[in-house]
Amino acid sequence: MTEVEFREFYGATAKPLKAYLSRITGNATLADDLLQESYYRMLRVDLPSMDPSQLKSYLYRTATNLARDHFRATKFQPAPLNEATAGEAASSDIGLSADIQQVLNEIKPNERQLVWLAYVEGASHREIAEMTGVKEASVRPLLFRAKQKLASILRERGLAVERSAR
């Protein structure tokens, strides 16, 4: 990959990847470290020729694995974003309200990553499987369960939307 190609790829992927890592870790500083390490590892490896979507999947999978390794090593307990981190997240146009962030912090990191990739990044089930290492057939039920948990949390907080009968 040439320097120009890398700059273009980085420009297209760095902001969404940082947002993804910020949401699954709940820590902007850790997200920055994982972001940097993900690109470093991608550049260090002699990759076969890949189109941009394959390269993006490789990068997200690397970032996901680095986050998982961090969680395992530190016996990760999700922590809510602090005031400074929340301000930084808002200023970087991540665009989630504090209420939504609190609700997302109540589900497991792997569930947050699936929800983020599916509904924020707009990734297909196949792309999510490639990025996370989960079997493609497992993505749909895992997303369903994560959505059910989120809906339950929202109902408990009185934030559920009532559906009208047709």
Instruction: Please name which of 52, 51, 59, 45 lies closest in space to residue 17, comparing C-alpha atoms.
Output: 59
Q: Report, as an integer, the average pLDDT of 9-18.
A: 92
Name the average pLDDT for the chain. Answer: 79
Q: Report, as an integer, the average pLDDT of 72-79.
A: 59
pLDDT value for 87: 46
pLDDT value for 93: 39
- Residues 42-61: tens digit of each pLDDT: 888 888 888 888 899 889 98
User: Crossing angle for the helix pair 136-156 and 98-105, nearest 10 degrees?
Assistant: 120
pTM of the model: 0.56
Q: Using CA atoms, how far apart are residues 161 and 125, in angstroms rounded to an integer?
A: 26
Residue 160: pLDDT band (50, 70, 90) is: low
Four-way CATH pick for 3-156: 3.40.50.360, 1.20.140.160, 2.40.30.110, 3.90.700.10 = 1.20.140.160
- Residues 76-118: tens digit of each pLDDT: 455 454 444 444 444 443 444 666 777 777 888 788 888 888 8
